[in-house]
Amino acid sequence: MPVRAAGPGDNAAGHLPRVHRLLRSGIPPFSVDRATLRWLGPVLGAAALALGAAQHAGAAGQGAPAAAAGPASSSLRSLPTAPAVAPLLAGLDSYRFALESRDPRVRRYFDQGMLLAFGFNPEEAARSFDAALAIDPACASCWWALAWALGPTINADMAAQAAARVDHAVAQARRHAHRAAPTRRALIEALAQRHPQAGTVDEAAYAQRLRTLAQRHPDDALVALLAAEALLNLHPYDWWSADGTPRPWTPEIAALLERSMALDPRLAGAHHYWIHLQESSPHPQRAQPSADFLRSAVPGSGHLLHMPAHIDMRVGRYEAAIQANLRSIEADRRYLAQVDAQGAYRVGYVAHNHHFLWAAASMAGREDLALQAAMAAWPAACGPAGRDPGSAIVQQYAVLPYFTQVRFGRWAALLHGTPPPDSAQPYPLAMWHYARGTARSRSGQIELAQQELAQLQRIGADPALATARLKNLNPAAQVVRIAVLTLQADLALAGGRPAQAVALLREATGIEDAFEYDEPHLWLAPTRQALGAALLAAGQAAQAEQVFRQDLRHYPGNGWSLNGLAQALSAQGKKPQAAQAAAQARAAFGPGAQLPAASRF
């Protein structure tokens, strides 16, 4: 298991494995130019909850006890403006957190910051907490939330450049802690355990303190959520074994999240983490209620609107996954129209929505929508200036159009309308040669296809591919290896050697099965769909049936494997079952969609 290198934010106790971290998007931590962002302050005035002003008009001074947390009205009304470093964003006022400050502007910024942090947009969350502190510099909870939001998550370590800011925020939170409610004071002290010395992070000590707090406060939903988050961070994405059994720490995490959701069913962060915990489990349907809740719970958070798709894909609700990502894309479009300075958020989350839309539309046989999403992913990552960060995941976005054309059999477009990538990186060029080789092989241009294979193999030997990891998880070299094996299998099939094709595709399937869990899938389609087709060509219908059923267990109801299953059943003389599978395949692809001959074009 790879282990991250120790850095300025680590000490001996806090140096923990981060195989899935440092932004699963595959980019280094980005530093946001805050001076660029501050122009928004004079332009965007402060606002508050409509109920907030009336509810707190007669409240006592700034040291009044914290109000109860709970759902809040989504309507806003104008209040006197104050200096601001962040806009108030629509759709991020659906929940009210406990807070000692009685100023409705502070409360509104705090609530917004918490929801932004729950939606993995920490820099924007930090700007909201900064805005709250500009109004009430003695808000201990705001200082606590600022330090918490800039710390590690399951997707990213704390950025080195955030260390001084976090240390200052923790110190200020402790200085003003007497104003906060007792539970919040305990959370402040727990966070001080995470940052015991300047520039250090001790996540193990923090997690242990949170576990203790969760035991002392069994009726506090936020404490349970934060305790679960701290444990998740110790083992990012390492929650289930390959055979589906839970890792030793997983039951405790699950119990904490279930407690949090039971105590407060509207706490979005608990549902977010519950989806992540369950999506790679043998029973992803356990998170279906959380997915359904997040479809509309926080309409201003693109990532939270997207999260239901992680469960939808695993339970075969591909149209629901499409709609979830369309909603998230629209929410992020509105967000970026106001604030477009979050490079990390663009690459890791905005473009991820298009990537996921591509996967869902492809699985549903929605060719045109899949191609639109594929074409949009790379520009979404690079922003209006077209600055390619050069990371491996951005290279993956760049090759999605090639994948789409291969999956839907657009051979003429690949050969006559798809120029080579404008990139010095080997990965996109390798996939371009793979796609052209596939098109030539499927079009009967065998000698030219072999030339494309030779180019693909040459590029596949580039040492740069061995070090590039897609979302810092899976080596790009292994994805290229799948491309080589798949193209070799196509040429074997074209040459009348189906047994050889089967052997090659079994190797490709083994590589895919060994990948660290990730959604959406890295290869253009699950490799079992190609393997099943090769088994049919080899006359091994019973084994093809088994392979298609395996794929359908991971992606239930997908029309590709249902269509292949129908062919496999028919070849075995199982006519009623074949007819049923064929009808399900047609329904899965929808009216007017062209089905492949078996499980691929």
Mind listing the domains of the chain with CATH numbers?
A: 34-287 (1.25.40), 288-389 (no CATH), 409-525 (no CATH), 527-601 (1.25.40.10)
Note the pLDDT tens digit of each residue in 44-83: 233 332 323 333 333 323 333 333 445 443 333 333 333 3
Residue 198's identity, in one-letter code, is: A
Question: Of 218-227, 283-292, 378-387, 415-424, where does mean pLDDT reach its minimum?
Answer: 378-387
Query: What are the backbone dihedrals phi and psi of residue 486, each rounded to the nearest 5 degrees, phi first?
Result: -70, -40
Which tops the pLDDT comparison, 34 or 204? Answer: 204
Look at residue 49 in the predicted model and tell me its pLDDT: 28
Number of CB atoms found within 10 A of residue 422's CB: 8
C-alpha 601/C-alpha 406 separation (Å) is 8
How many CA atoms lie within 13 Å of 57's alpha carbon, on the beta-carbon side? 7
Region 555-567: mean pLDDT is 97
Model confidence, pTM? 0.86
Look at residue 198 in the predicted model and tell me its pLDDT: 87
Look at residue 55 in the predicted model and tell me its pLDDT: 31
C-alpha 230/C-alpha 593 separation (Å) is 46
**With bands split at pLDDT 50, 70 and 90, how would you rate the model's confidence at 219?**
very high
Look at residue 73 in the predicted model and tell me its pLDDT: 37
**pLDDT at residue 395 greater than cutoff 80:** yes
Contact predicate 157/4, CB 8 Å: yes
Which residue matches tokens 């190609």? 530
Look at residue 37 in the predicted model and tell me its pLDDT: 27
What is the separation, in whole angstroms, between the first and last Cα of the chain? 37
Positive or negative torsion for Cα 119, 120, 123, 125: positive
**pLDDT at residue 24 greater than cutoff 60:** no
Residue 48 DSSP code: E
C-alpha 393/C-alpha 397 separation (Å) is 6
How many CA atoms lie within 13 Å of 281's alpha carbon, on the beta-carbon side? 19
Look at residue 297 in the predicted model and tell me its pLDDT: 98
C-alpha 393/C-alpha 352 separation (Å) is 9
Query: For the stretch 477-515, what's the b/e string if a residue is b when 16 or more beta carbons lie within 10 angstroms of its beta carbon?
Result: bbbbbbbbbbbbbbbbbbeebbebbbbbbbbbbebbeeb
**pLDDT at residue 475 greater than cutoff 70:** yes
Look at residue 340 in the predicted model and tell me its pLDDT: 64
Question: What average pLDDT is seen over the chain?
Answer: 87
Look at residue 586 in the predicted model and tell me its pLDDT: 95
C-alpha 239/C-alpha 118 separation (Å) is 20
Look at residue 26 in the predicted model and tell me its pLDDT: 34
Question: Of 246-260, 312-326, 390-404, where does mean pLDDT reach its minimum?
Answer: 390-404
**With bands split at pLDDT 50, 70 and 90, how would you rate the model's confidence at 392?**
confident
Contact predicate 166/192, CB 8 Å: no
Look at residue 12 in the predicted model and tell me its pLDDT: 33
**With bands split at pLDDT 50, 70 and 90, how would you rate the model's confidence at 342?**
low
**With bands split at pLDDT 50, 70 and 90, how would you rate the model's confidence at 343?**
low
Contact predicate 509/550, CB 8 Å: no
Question: Of 30-39, 289-298, 498-507, where does mean pLDDT reach its minimum?
Answer: 30-39
**pLDDT at residue 126 greater than cutoff 50:** yes
**pLDDT at residue 238 greater than cutoff 50:** yes
Dihedral of the CA atoms 557, 278, 3, 392 (nearest 10)?
40
Region 546-575: mean pLDDT is 97
Look at residue 502 in the predicted model and tell me its pLDDT: 98
Look at residue 257 in the predicted model and tell me its pLDDT: 98
For residue 496, the surrounding DSSP H or E stretch is none
Region 538-545: mean pLDDT is 98
Dihedral of the CA atoms 518, 522, 524, 526 (nearest 10)?
-50
Look at residue 61 in the predicted model and tell me its pLDDT: 30
C-alpha 72/C-alpha 79 separation (Å) is 17
